[in-house]
Structure 1
């Protein structure tokens, strides 16, 4: 069992934070203008003027093992060591190669669609918390303020909603909500706080399901 990645979306449906631990390859950087600033250095848009990509995140794991052949949510990006080869050279059969902003939109779209379907079919007393496929399991925790914490893990992992709740009530409240230097609902910038990123990284790596 292992944990793949964490997304945080605000009430405006924008991805404001991303962190990954086990992926086969890093997702392709977001397109210019498709992602808020400071979401993650690992997925920041390419710098067209300098011809280089943004520096990878300090806490990005070199052990990336997430693979999906469905092409539905998880993207397989191009190898950073491959130089400036065109994107078509890295596409493999059965794999949908997406930029990070496209991937984030798909993740949020799946959450929104399933949540609405459950509310219509089961009533207001039922809440969507997770779903499982053959390659991953998605966990959701939504706050009263509209923030959505989404974690992807191994399909055999038990429910991790309590972990997302701990991330919210701990590092998020301490380093984001109570920090006047971190803009909330700015629609221009993500969660730019290395203390929060380091705390989340330490918390997730300390879990028994993290491998």
Structure 2
């Protein structure tokens, strides 16, 4: 079993934090990418997993979607395929799944039920929502039990200590993510201390 990645979305539905433990290739960043949201490694060997959603990886929702082709006019060159999704599109897909399933659960089950996780053949998505509108989303191995308590521990521990109580972090920023080395290191330590972490 393993943990793939953590997303944090603010009340504006924007991804303000991303951390990945299994991704081995750099993310495709869009031109309007927010500073401080993610820190991913430089590209490595071809064929390495770009993300849980890439066709070269484990697959899943959106696998291969958003890949463009480019052919030189009249050159007869083979189409050039861009691997994976740009990060903003990947984050929007994750948030869209969370929002859609959460709304479906509320409409079908009433206010007493909560959407906390769902599982596909490739991954399991875990959700923890705060009263302030932050959504913590964790992608893990599909055989993992609920990890909602881990997300709550991250919120009540490192998030409160290094983000909410830090006057230098803009909590309502639409231009920058949570760029805090102490928070990133605390989340990494917490995840690596779990028995599920591979």
Tell me the TM-score normalised to structure 2 length.
0.82
- The separation in 1 between residues aligned to 2:79 and 2:37, in whole angstroms, is 23
Query: Paired residue for 1:88?
Result: 80
Q: Does 1:103 align with 2:90?
A: yes
* 1:76 Cα offset (Å): 11
- The separation in 2 between residues aligned to 1:183 and 1:103, in whole angstroms, is 24
8 A Cα contact 1:27 1:98, kept in partner: no
- The separation in 2 between residues aligned to 1:39 and 1:167, in whole angstroms, is 17
Cα separation, partners in 2 of 1:76 and 1:145, compared to 1, 3 Å: same
- The separation in 2 between residues aligned to 1:105 and 1:152, in whole angstroms, is 15
Q: Does 1:205 align with 2:192?
A: yes
1:156-195 per-position Cα deviation (integer Å, ceiling 9, x unaligned): 0010000000000000000000000001111111001000
8 A Cα contact 1:21 1:63, kept in partner: no
* 1:28 Cα offset (Å): 2.9
Query: Paired residue for 1:181?
Result: 168
8 A Cα contact 2:10 2:16, kept in partner: yes
- The separation in 2 between residues aligned to 1:37 and 1:110, in whole angstroms, is 24
* 1:29 Cα offset (Å): 2.3
- The separation in 1 between residues aligned to 2:20 and 2:131, in whole angstroms, is 25
* 1:72 Cα offset (Å): 2.2
- The separation in 1 between residues aligned to 2:66 and 2:171, in whole angstroms, is 31
1:115-152 per-position Cα deviation (integer Å, ceiling 9, x unaligned): 00010010011100000000000000000000000000
- The separation in 1 between residues aligned to 2:190 and 2:60, in whole angstroms, is 30
Consecutive unaligned residues in structure 1, runs of 5 or more:
43-54, 57-61, 78-85, 92-96
Aligned Cα root-mean-square deviation (Å): 2.6
8 A Cα contact 1:11 1:146, kept in partner: yes
Query: Paired residue for 2:29?
Result: 30
Cα separation, partners in 2 of 1:63 and 1:70, compared to 1, 3 Å: closer
How many residues are matched? 179
| SS of alignment partner, residue 80 of structure 2 | helix
Aligned 1:41-80 pairs, distance under 5 A: 41-42=39-40, 66=52, 67-72=57-62
Q: Does 1:14 align with 2:14?
A: yes
- The separation in 1 between residues aligned to 2:25 and 2:15, in whole angstroms, is 17
Cα separation, partners in 2 of 1:193 and 1:87, compared to 1, 3 Å: farther
| Structure showing greater Rg | 2
- The separation in 2 between residues aligned to 1:10 and 1:145, in whole angstroms, is 9
Query: Paired residue for 1:160?
Result: 147
